[in-house]
Amino acid sequence: MSRLKRIVLLLLSDTVAVSLASVFFVWMKLAGGGLEIVRHNYERLYPDAVDGPTFWYALGYYSDVLPLISGCWLLLFLFFGFYQSSLSSSRFDEMYEVLKVVTLGILLAMVATFDRDIRLTRLLVLFYWLGMVALVAGGRVLVRSFERQLLLRGIGLRRTAIVGVNARGVRLLRALRAAPAQGYEIVGLVRAHGEKDRGAIDGLSVLGSVSDLRTILAAESIEAVLIAL
């Protein structure tokens, strides 16, 4: 999977997660007897109504605000490099980063609304925090798992050359062959300066010298170069 496709999938996952968490927040606020402004607006429009505003009415009332909230969260994620992390990061690292940034985002939101007439109970904030962490982290783990499954099936591997035909180069080659989820398809090796000419290593051709690297990259459509010196 290309970097662009991965970023698009992560953006979609984060957008859906933040939107669901925000919708859940509106539902909890309404069910808890909050959203007075929504109730007043509903009573003004429907003075004869016996029941209060429905969830869908409250959701429609905030339909112009929820996309703005999602945009703020995505900007925060972008600022903290959520769309630059490598696939090699573990699921634990992914969840830990989400935990940190979501916690910071909620603290910033609480500071921004501190002097306003907005009642937020600790329980409400806690549930919103839990929802954000669970949905965002869960969605990103699913995207990563999906990509790893593609890589294990040989889909989306990056054509890669290893510079170095020494023992380190051989160890790196064998390690990457044993871990296809890293996303590298080793197509050959390249001799560094001072290394002896070797025809093949573990069934892979030595494509030439590092002095010819630019030509080799173009001829073999190499997407990544790993240094093992």
Q: Are 204 and 173 in contact (CB under 8 A)?
A: yes
- Looking at 91, 119, 152, the residue that finishes a domain is 152
Is the same domain home to 144 and 74? yes
What local confidence, expressed as pLDDT, does residue 129 receive? 94
pLDDT in tens, 129-149: 999 999 999 999 999 889 888
- Looking at 88, 120, 152, the residue that finishes a domain is 152
What local confidence, expressed as pLDDT, does residue 179 receive? 86
Is the same domain home to 8 and 116? yes
Beta bridge partners of 205: 200
**What residues make up the domain containing 8?**
3-152
- The number of distinct structural domains making up the chain is 2
Is the same domain home to 57 and 126? yes
Looking up residue 214, the CATH number of its domain turns out to be: 3.40.50.720
> Rounded to the nearest 5°, which phi and psi values hold at 71?
-60, -40
- Looking at 136, 152, 168, the residue that finishes a domain is 152
In the predicted model, residues of the chain with pLDDT beneath 50 are none
What local confidence, expressed as pLDDT, does residue 197 receive? 81
